[in-house]
């Protein structure tokens, strides 16, 4: 068992990583139940894992009620938020209760936001079941739904009380979803850890094939990186947490263009976005051209999009930049960009000319 602390004053919690943990989850959850029924929120693709969790709780004498939502990015919506909060209120969830989010980043983000606003805030626990959720979304307390204007625009910072990661749940995850989650793993190397990017280049094949040792290393290393950065800047006000947004300004625009559908998964948008961030950095003379080429080559080698063409983008640069204007990093009309001086040398640049970004995008092959 690996325990990774997330240190945030009175909002601190542990991320517990262990193969087979789901079947033993009640050992960690029962103390939070206060002898009351626990609500589990999940999606329709999680039935086997839901059964494992229910069995664990039931064996420990903890009653549970399950709320099963449709899968997919469309579930991060006002309609599903209303449906979920109505159900949680019907179940009589109190502020001192802990709702269990069992699923990927969609379930985690939606449940986290519902719990941030339910009765002005109740507790929740993350049990992430996708690679993306295990290495990124379940940790750090960003919660949100999408709105007509864009990605994650309605949300709150609300930390979970605990994160339980069972890497063996990934055995049932479709390959495309594993690859999409891998984009957020590579991100930690590109942000500030060139050695980890080297490790990714050497071990991506094994990791994506389900090798348990490679998977455990990637998950533990990624969670530790995220916990460190979130611990330095929980509310994204100090310029540190923004680094976790590498590739996301481009990526969210591409996701918006795809209508937040499975035409382009979040991780796929992030992969294309990271390639574009490195490509733009190289085009501006900030990063070596060879580093940008190495990033693109690695993403391509694992079957992730490495730019606009592979992401299926047809919009022109100005249209994509218009999507970016909704980015939450916007400040007094300026959009800070995550650029890089090289692999593992990402930084926040507040001087980027949006016309140059549009021109760069127009110069890219489609
Ligand atoms: N809050 C954050 O810090 C943060 C970080 C990164 C991403 N996100 C958000 O996370 C979302 C993407 O999350 P995701 O990639 O996990 O997608 P997801 O939640 O849609 O899950 C992907 C698919 O896999 C299925 N699935 C989940 N676990 C499974 C399993 N073990 N076996 C079989 N099928 C399974 C789901 O039903 C779904 O169809 C995006 O909305 C993104 O914005 C949030
Ligand atoms: O935790 C963070 O901070 C991140 O930026 C992690 C990202 O992978 C994640 O996709 C996040 O939801 C994007 O943040 P947003 O503020 O741009 O919605
Ligand atoms: Zn992300």
* Tens-digit pLDDT profile for residues 15-59: 999 999 999 999 999 999 999 999 999 999 999 999 999 999 999
222 and 144 fall within a common domain: no
Pseudo-torsion of CA 345, 230, 348, 260, nearest 10°? 100
Taking 90 as the threshold, does the pLDDT of residue 111 lie above it?
yes
The catalytic position among 187, 252, 298, 328 is: 252
Q: Are the C-beta atoms of 298 and 208 separated by less than 8 Å?
A: no
CA separation for the pair 122, 132 (Å, rounded): 25
Rounded to the nearest whole angstrom, what is the distance from the C-alpha of residue 247 to the centroid of ligand 3? Answer: 8
pLDDT for res 40:
99
ipTM attached to this prediction? 0.99
In the block, which residue shows the tokens 């760069």? Answer: 360
Domain hosting residue 108, numbered range: 2-172
β pairing state of 64-69 and 337-340: unpaired
Give the C-alpha separation, 272 to 39, whole Å: 37
Residue nearest to atom 20 of ligand 1 (CA): 72
Query: Same domain for 73 and 194?
Result: no
In a shared domain, residues 110 and 216? no
Q: How much is the mean pLDDT over the chain?
A: 97
* Same-domain pairing of 71 and 204: no
pLDDT tens profile 137-159 = 999 999 999 999 999 999 999 99
**Average pLDDT over every residue of 325-340:** 94
Closest-CA residue to 145 (of 202, 57, 76, 217): 76
3-state helix, strand, coil in the chain (%, to 5): 55, 15, 30
Q: Tell me, yes or no, whether 48 and 104 share the same domain.
A: yes
Q: Is 43 in the pocket of ligand 1 (CB under 6 A)?
A: yes
Starting from the CA of residue 266, give the closest ligand: 1
pLDDT of residue 212: 96
Mark whether 284 and 331 lie in a shared domain.
yes
* pLDDT at 277 (0 to 100): 98
| Residues 227 and 319 grouped into a single domain | yes
Q: Is 214 found in the same domain as 159?
A: no
Judge if the beta carbon of residue 252 lies within 6 A of ligand 1.
no
Instruction: Supply the CATH number for residue 237's domain.
Output: 1.20.1090.10
- Say if residue 224 is in the same domain as residue 189: yes
Alpha carbon of 78 to ligand 2 centroid (Å): 19
Query: Which residue's alpha carbon is nearest to atom 13 within ligand 2?
Result: 245
The predicted pLDDT at position 152 comes to 97
Specify the residue with its C-alpha closest to ligand 1, atom 18.
Answer: 104
CATH of the domain at 55: 3.40.50.1970
Out of 142, 172, 202, pick the residue that ends a domain.
172
Q: What is the pLDDT of residues 169-226, one digit of tens each?
A: 999 999 999 999 999 999 999 999 999 999 999 999 999 999 999 999 999 999 999 9
Spacing, Cα 105 to ligand 1 middle (Å): 4
Q: In terms of DSSP H, where are the helices of 91-174?
A: 105-117, 131-132
CA of 67 to the centre of ligand 3 (A): 25
pLDDT in tens, 265-312: 999 999 999 999 999 999 999 999 999 999 999 999 999 999 999 999
Give yes or no for residue 333 having a pLDDT over 90. no
pLDDT given for residue 366 in this prediction: 87
End position of a domain, from candidates 172, 194, 226:
172
Please indicate, yes or no, whether residues 330 and 238 belong to a single structural domain of this protein. Answer: yes
Asked if residue 139 and residue 23 are part of one domain, the reply reads: yes
Same domain, 113 and 197: no
Please report the atom of ligand 2 found closest to the CA of residue 252. 17
pLDDT at 20: 98
Asked whether 105 lines ligand 1 (CB < 6 A), one says yes
Q: Choose the final residue of a domain: 172, 198, 216.
A: 172
Mutating to test ligand 1, I would choose from 15, 105, 234 the residue with most ligand atoms within 8 A of its C-beta, which is 105
Q: Annotated catalytic, 245? A: yes
What's the confidence (pLDDT) of residue 68? 98
Rounded Cα distance, 48 and 167, in Å: 15
Q: What is the pLDDT of residue 133?
A: 99
Write down the catalytic residue from 45, 146, 152, 245: 245
User: pLDDT value at position 144?
Assistant: 98
Is 329 one of the catalytic residues? no
Residue of 49, 76, 142, 187 marked catalytic: 142
Determine if residue 129 is labeled as part of a ligand binding site.
Answer: yes
Active-site residue among 158, 187, 226, 328?
226
Number of domains in the chain: 2
Residue-wise pLDDT for 240-258, tens only, equals 999 999 999 999 999 999 9
CA–CA separation, 314 and 317 (whole Å) = 9
């Amino acid at each position: 068992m690996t325990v990774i602390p997330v240190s945030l004053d009175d909002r601190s919690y542990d991320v517990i990583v262990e193969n087979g943990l789901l079947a033993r989850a009640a050992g960690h959850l029962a103390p939070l139940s206060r002898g009351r029924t626990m609500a589990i929120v999940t999606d329709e693709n999680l039935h086997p894992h839901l059964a494992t969790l229910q069995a664990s709780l039931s064996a420990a004498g903890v009653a549970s009620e399950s709320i099963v939502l449709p899968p997919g990015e469309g579930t991060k919506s006002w309609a599903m938020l209303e449906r979920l909060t109505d159900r949680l209120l019907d179940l009589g969830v109190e502020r001192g209760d802990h709702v269990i989010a069992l699923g990927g980043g969609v379930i985690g983000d939606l449940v986290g936001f519902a719990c941030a606003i339910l009765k002005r805030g109740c507790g929740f626990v993350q049990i992430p079941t996708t690679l993306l959720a295990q290495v990124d979304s379940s940790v750090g307390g960003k919660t949100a739904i999408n709105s007509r204007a864009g990605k994650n625009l309605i949300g709150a910072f609300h930390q979970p009380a605990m994160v339980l990661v069972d890497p063996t749940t990934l055995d049932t995850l479709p390959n495309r979803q594993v690859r999409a989650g891998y984009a957020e793993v590579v991100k930690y190397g590109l942000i500030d850890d060139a050695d980890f990017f080297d490790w990714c280049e050497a071990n991506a094949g094994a990791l994506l094939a389900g090798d348990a040792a490679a998977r455990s290393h990637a998950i533990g290393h990624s969670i530790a990186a995220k916990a460190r950065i979130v611990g330095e800047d929980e509310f994204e006000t100090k310029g540190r947490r923004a680094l976790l947004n590498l590739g996301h300004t481009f990526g969210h625009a591409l996701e918006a263009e795809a209508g937040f559908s499975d035409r382009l998964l979040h991780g796929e948008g992030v992969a294309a976005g990271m390639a574009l961030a490195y490509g733009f950095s190289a085009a501006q003379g900030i990063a070596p051209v060879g580093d940008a080429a190495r990033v693109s080559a690695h993403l391509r080698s694992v079957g992730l999009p490495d730019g606009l063409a592979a992401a299926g983008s047809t919009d022109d640069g100005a249209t994509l930049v218009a999507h970016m204007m909704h980015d939450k990093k916007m400040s007094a009309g300026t959009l800070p960009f995550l650029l890089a001086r090289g692999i593992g040398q990402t930084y926040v640049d507040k001087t980027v000319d949006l016309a140059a970004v549009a021109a760069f995008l127009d110069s890219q092959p489609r």
